[in-house]
Every structure is written in structure tokens, then in C-alpha cells.
Structure 1
């Protein structure tokens, strides 16, 4: 049994449902689980989606997590806990894949996974970034070497121990606080090759194409299909586009760096809007502190930059 799962709240529930449809189309042999860090009533879910609400199982320290984390921190902090719960429900699972709600599959990824590895990670970059005022290597280093929007593990003693270690740290060390060495669930992935020697890094150009890739990989339309650096496009991640993402929304301007990616994002937006109209869910997520960040984020960043310039000027004298 192979399983794909995602984790979301009402903010990105429509995105998760769009992901589920792409999984059904391109990985029809996989079971799809939707982990919900929220409490809206969801009626008439498609048959190919299995729902697990966060309240259906126990996370140690859950009440404190829900009170202390912002909602956009709480969702990724719960990801390893959902993985443990799914594997507990399905000891027969041979392969577990996490995909962020903002991912869309365009082809099957089975051929990318070699038989000898126990863990597959997605690098944020596979080569030094081309010069850009929007994104550079240092920012990638701060965010983490691996993209937390996709990973695959094969259950074993080593992978289960690593997953448990990661989950325990997400209880109180998954804030978005780069200055104190935290970046939601993501920085802990840096340790995974130490825990699991049989770790493979997926450098395939058409895998997980998103804002992390537009500077270095050329995505083009080829008839009705797409290719990245001459290889078929397998998956996309629209993290940072459409709703607030603590890492990638700072780099949303990069969407215009590749016309094919921009066109695919517009198509994706239409899919998500249809899903939202079907859901009719509004309001704030039930768990986590609510932060209305998106409307004033760029203004605040601009003011902070000006204040930094002024402080630097004062320091010179």
C-alpha cells in the first residue's frame, strides 16, 4: 500500500482538494489522506479522499501548540504527527509521500524513486542561484536545504525513529523565527540524511517546480505538455502564490520570471476558485493564532528596509 497525504486548514483547503484530484489522475494506485488542522464541517468529500481531523488523535502538548503557534505555523508543525498517525493506521504501508496543499501533479513520480533508498528529499536548489534581487543563496540557506513541500519515506526502523524525533521537535520548535534557528517544520529536514543514510535527493528538473526553481530551470510549453530543462514536468508547487506562505510569499515576484510557470499559475488559480465556491467555508481557522499578514506585509517590509538604511547611516557617524 502506498499513501500520499497533505495537511491544511480552511485557508488552503481548496488547494488541498485540487491536489487530491491531481493525485487521483496521476497516481491512481495511491491512497490519499487529507489531514485537517481545523474544525469546519466538510460535506460530500470525493470518494478518493480520506479525511483525518487533528482532533481525531493525540498530539502531546496540543493545547499549548494551538494557543502559541500562528495558524500558518501550526499546520506544518502537525505534518510529522499526521504521518505517524497514518502509519499507525496502516502498518502495511510501504511508501508514504507528503505533498503540500499547493502542489499539483502533472505526471506519475514512480520512476523517480529508486528501490535502494528509504527517504527522498526535494532540494530547494540544485545549483547556485542566478543573480536576483528577490532570492539568493543565503536566503535559501536560512530557509533550509530541503523543501518541506514534498518528501517520501519507506517505513523502517530508521525512518520511523527519525519521524518520531522530528515530530517531538515540532511541538515547541516549529515557529517561523529564522533569527533563532526555526523555520516551521522545514529546518529539521537538514538532519534527515544523518538519521537515514539511505537518503536520496531528487534533482530531476521537472520535479517540484516552483518559486525555488524559476531562476535556474527553464520551463517551457511543448504542445499540450511542459518540460523543465528538456525533461517532462512531473509536479509544480505554487507555495507563496495565492495565499500567505511564511517563506515563499516574500519571493512571489519571481512568478513573472517564467511565462510558462505564470500561465500554469493562472490556470491553477481558476481550479482553486472553483473548489472554494463548492466549499462555502469562510472565517478564521479554528486552531492557532490568526494573523492577517498578507494585506500589509509589503508595506511593513518597505518601512523596515527604510529604518535599516537610516540605522546604517547613523552607525557610520
Structure 2
């Protein structure tokens, strides 16, 4: 049994359902789970989607996590806990894949996976980063070597031990706080090759094309067929586009660097809007501190930049 799962709340449930449809199309033999970090009762869930509420996981100190984390921090903090919960629920699982709600499959995954590897990681970069005023090497180092929006593992002694180690660190060390060495769940992925020596980095150019890739990889499309550097497009990630992402929303203007990616994002937005209309769900997420960040983000960043200019001027004297 193979399982693909994502983690969301009401804010990005429509995105998760768009992902579910793409999984049904390209990985129909895989079971698909939504890990729900919310208190919703969803009546119109499609037959190909299974639901696992966070209340069924018995995460240690979850009440504390929900009180301390913002909702956009709490979601990634629960990802390894959902992985452990799914493996406990399905001990027959042979391959567990995590895809963030903003991911969309465009081709099957299995052809990318080596039989001898136990874990597959997604690099933020597969080549030296081209110069850009929007994204630079330091920002990638802050984000981490690997993208937490896509990873795959084969359950075994080492991978389960790695999940448990990772999960317990997200209880109190998954804040978006770069100055104190935290970046939600993501920086812990840097250690995965230590825990799982049989890890493989997926450098296929068609895998996980998003804002992290537009400067270095060329996506082209014709007649609804897409290639990245001569390889078929396997998956897209629209993180940072459409709703707030603590890492990638800063780099959203990069979407204009590739016209095919921009067009695919516009198609994706129409799918998500339709899903939201079908769901008819409003309100704030039930767990985690709610912050309506996106509308005033650019204004705040502008004020912060001016203040930094002032403090730098003062430092000269």
C-alpha cells in the first residue's frame, strides 16, 4: 500500500482538494489522506479522499502548540506527527509521500524513485542560483537545503526513528524565527541524510517546479504538454502564491520569470476558487493563532526597510 498525504486547515483545504484530484489522475493506486488541523465537519468530501483529524493523533502538548504557534507554523509542525499516525494506522504501508497543499501532480511519481533508497528529498536548488534581486543564496540557506513541501520515505527502522526525532522537535522548535535558527518544520530536514544514509536527493528538473526553480530551470508548454529542461513536468508547487507562506510569499514576484509557470498558476487559481465555492467554509482556523498577514505584508516590509535604513545611518555615528 502506498499513501500520499497533505496537511491543511480551512484556509488551504481547497488547495488540498485540488492536489487530491491530481493524485487521483496520476497516482490512482495510492491512498490519499488529508491531515486536518481544524475542527471542521466536512460533508462533501470526495470518495478518493480520506480524512485524518489532528484530534486522532494524540500529539504530546498539542494544546500548548496550538496556543503558541501561528496557524501557518502549526500546520508544518504537525506534518511528521501525521506521518507517524498514518504509519501506525496502516502498518502495511510500503511508501509514504508528503505533498504540501499547494502542490499539483502533472505526471506519475514512481519513475523517479530508486529501488534501493529509503528516503527521497527535494532540493531547494540543483545548481548555483542565478543572480536576482528577489532571491539569493543566503535566503535559500535560511530556508534550508531541502524543500519540506515534498518528500517520500519507505517505512523502516531508520526512517521511523527519523520521523520520531523530527516530530518531537516540532513541539517547541518549529517557529518561523530565522534569527533563532528555526524555520517551521523545514530546517530539520537538513539532518535526514544523517538519520537515513540511504537518502536520495531528487534532482530531476521536472520534480517540484516552483518559485525555488524559476531562476534556474526552464519550463515550457505546448498543447497542455510541459517539459522542464527537456524532462516531463512531474509536479508543481504554488507555495507563496495565492495565500501567505512564511518563506515563499517574499519571492512571489518570481512567478513572472516564466510565462508557462504564470499561466499554470492562473489555471490553478481558477480550480482553487471553484473548490472554495463548493466547500462554502468560512471563519478562522480552530487551532493556532490566526494572523491575517497577506493584505498588509508589503506595507510592513516597506516600513521595516525604512527603519533599517535609519538604524544603519545611526550606526555610522
Match of 2:13 in 1: 13
Q: Deviations over 1:28-85 (max 9, x none)?
A: 0000000000011111211110001101220001110010000000000000000000
Report matched runs for 1:209-248 at 5 Å: 209-248=209-248
TM-score normalized with structure 1 length: 0.99
Match of 2:314 in 1: 314
Q: Distance in 2 between matches of 1:180 and 1:17?
A: 34
Q: Deviations over 1:70-108 (max 9, x none)?
A: 000000000000000000011010000000000000000
Number of aligned positions between the proteins: 317
Q: CA deviation at 1:178?
A: 0.4
Q: CA deviation at 1:23?
A: 0.1
Match of 2:196 in 1: 196
Report matched runs for 1:161-310 at 5 Å: 161-310=161-310
Q: CA deviation at 1:307?
A: 1.0
Q: Deviations over 1:138-168 (max 9, x none)?
A: 1000011000000000001000000000000
Q: Deviations over 1:106-135 (max 9, x none)?
A: 000110000000000000011111111100
Q: Distance in 1 between matches of 2:223 and 2:200?
A: 32
Q: Distance in 2 between matches of 1:232 and 1:172?
A: 40
Match of 1:68 in 2: 68
Q: Distance in 1 between matches of 2:315 and 2:44?
A: 61
Match of 2:39 in 1: 39
Match of 2:136 in 1: 136
Q: CA deviation at 1:224?
A: 2.1
Q: Specify every segment of 5 or more residues in structure 1 that has no aligned partner in the other structure, as ranges.
A: none
Q: Distance in 2 between matches of 1:295 and 1:306?
A: 19
Q: Does 1:153 align with 2:153?
A: yes
Match of 1:124 in 2: 124
Q: Distance in 2 between matches of 1:63 and 1:312?
A: 41
Q: Distance in 1 between matches of 2:263 and 2:90?
A: 39
The ranges of structure 1 where at least 4 consecutive aligned residues each deviate by more than 2 angstroms after the TM superposition are: none
